[in-house]
């Protein structure tokens, strides 16, 4: 028939099946369009639902909005930073700053804090919640810094967490701000933001910390927890996030977004 090519006859001694196989091998396989992966959703990343491209863009936008984010606790050296972070547990940064401005003028070293005594410390921080227990911790951690670390704040996580009143979050803050370590301090704001945006679906602070350290690009790691804290404190609030003001609203997986 017209339009059909001639079928090759089998050569002498060649089985007919070989000819059929050759004909099949010359046929082109139909091209299958590759699946397009969403730049936002990617389920293969464990507890993280955002793709690497989306995470990169998120922190690029946060950096553009605030290139040099800073913690809001006031301090004059690593020791006063450590004390301020210990006092900030279940308290606002503003409330801690109000109390410590006067305290740090007379006790900005462990030695001076010990001389002030527990009762003296209480007088300065009595406007802060749980001030009695916190005064006891501040005095004891000051004594331990003198006895075990020459009056200096240690740069090792284990040594920091061994001090009274110092947990993982406090150690992460001190390591990050005082020593420039790319740690991730997960407070209530960071925990909320990570789960809302899709950076993590961790069930506790440690799971969220592990997720964030794994997926946030290294170039953003030093300031990452500051960006997330400030975003949670002033924009992505607990009760009603202010999505129209959010610089990462197009990337965030939170639904429904506020109008």
Q: Give the catalytic positions in this structure.
A: 169, 187
Would you say 134 and 128 are in contact if contact means Cβ atoms under 8 Å apart? yes
Task: Please give the full DSSP string across 63-121, using - where no structure is assigned.
Answer: HHH-SS---S---SSHHHHHHHHHHTTTS-HHHHHHHHHHHHHH--SHHHHHHHHHHHH
Could you give the residue ranges of the DSSP H alpha helices within 107-223?
A: 110-125, 131-149, 157-161, 168-179, 188-197, 205-215
Task: Please give the full DSSP string across 8-49, using - where no structure is assigned.
Answer: PPPPTT--HHHHHHHHHHHSPPPP-PPPPPPSSEEEEETTEE
Q: Is residue 249 helix, strand or coil? A: coil
Q: How far apart are CA 201 and CA 46, in angstroms?
A: 9
Would you say 90 and 130 are in contact if contact means Cβ atoms under 8 Å apart? yes
Report the DSSP pairing between strands 41-45 and 48-50. antiparallel
Q: Is residue 3 helix, strand or coil? A: coil
Largest CA distance in the chain: 109
Q: Is residue 204 helix, strand or coil? A: coil
């Amino acid at each position: 028939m017209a339009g059909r090519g001639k079928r090759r006859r089998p050569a002498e001694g060649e089985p007919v099946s070989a000819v059929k196989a050759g004909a099949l091998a010359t046929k082109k396989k139909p091209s299958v369009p590759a699946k397009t992966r969403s730049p936002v959703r990617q389920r293969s990343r464990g507890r993280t639902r955002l793709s690497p491209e989306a995470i990169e863009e998120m922190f690029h936008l946060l950096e553009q909005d605030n290139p040099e984010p800073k913690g809001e606790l006031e301090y004059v050296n690593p020791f006063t930073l450590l004390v301020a972070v210990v006092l900030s547990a279940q308290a606002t940064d503003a409330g801690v700053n109000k109390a410590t401005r006067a305290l740090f003028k007379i006790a900005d070293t462990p030695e001076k804090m010990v001389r002030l005594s527990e009762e003296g410390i209480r007088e300065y921080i009595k406007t802060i919640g749980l001030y009695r227990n916190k005064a006891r911790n501040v005095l004891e951690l000051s004594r331990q810094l003198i006895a075990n670390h020459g009056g200096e704040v240690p740069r090792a996580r284990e040594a920091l967490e061994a001090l009274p009143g110092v947990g993982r979050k406090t150690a992460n803050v001190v390591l990050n701000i005082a020593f420039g370590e790319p740690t991730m301090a997960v407070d209530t704001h960071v925990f909320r933001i990570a789960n809302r945006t899709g950076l993590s679906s961790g069930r506790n602070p440690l799971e969220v910390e592990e997720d964030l350290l794994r997926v946030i690009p290294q170039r953003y790691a030093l300031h990452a927890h500051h960006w997330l804290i400030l975003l949670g404190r002033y924009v992505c609030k607990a009760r009603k996030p202010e999505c129209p003001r959010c610089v990462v609203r197009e990337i965030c997986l939170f639904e429904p977004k506020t109008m």
